[in-house]
Amino acid sequence: MEAMEKIDDAENEARMKRGELYYAFTPALIAQRERCKKACNRLNQETGDASRRRRLELWKDIANDKSPHPPQAATQEEDDILLQDVSYVEGPIKCDYGYNVMYDSLLPDPCSRAPFKLTLS
């Protein structure tokens, strides 16, 4: 138990974000994973018929992003245009913390024939 008491949560999380060796079972990181898991489950259950705005809300919940959304437009079509440059996310998705996410696919992008890589921080 003494080793756990010596772990600095801020430094441990910084090490994780830098891709260095870190201890994943601190109470803070366990809570972050549980929060993210619940948010991923909500996105995975709701995205079937969800609007672009709702998908954005669900994604920001996963990423724990508290920044404000653009104001909602008068119609669904106008709102979709307003949000056209915002990430579009479809489930199923699973990630540990919702930030510092690295996704590499073995499937090529059909337009470029180059591997697809997405990094979200």
pLDDT digits (tens, 9 = 90+) for 59-113: 889 888 898 888 999 999 999 899 988 877 888 888 888 776 655 444 444 444 4
How much is the pLDDT for 91? 81
- Helix (H) or strand (E) run with residue 5 in it: helix 2-5
* DSSP code per residue over 9-60: HHHHHHHHHTT----TTSHHHHHHHHHHHHHHHHHHHHTTS--HHHHHHHHH
3-state DSSP call for residue 77? helix
pTM: 0.72
CA atoms within 13 A on the CB side of 85: 2
Q: Is the pLDDT of residue 120 over 50?
A: no
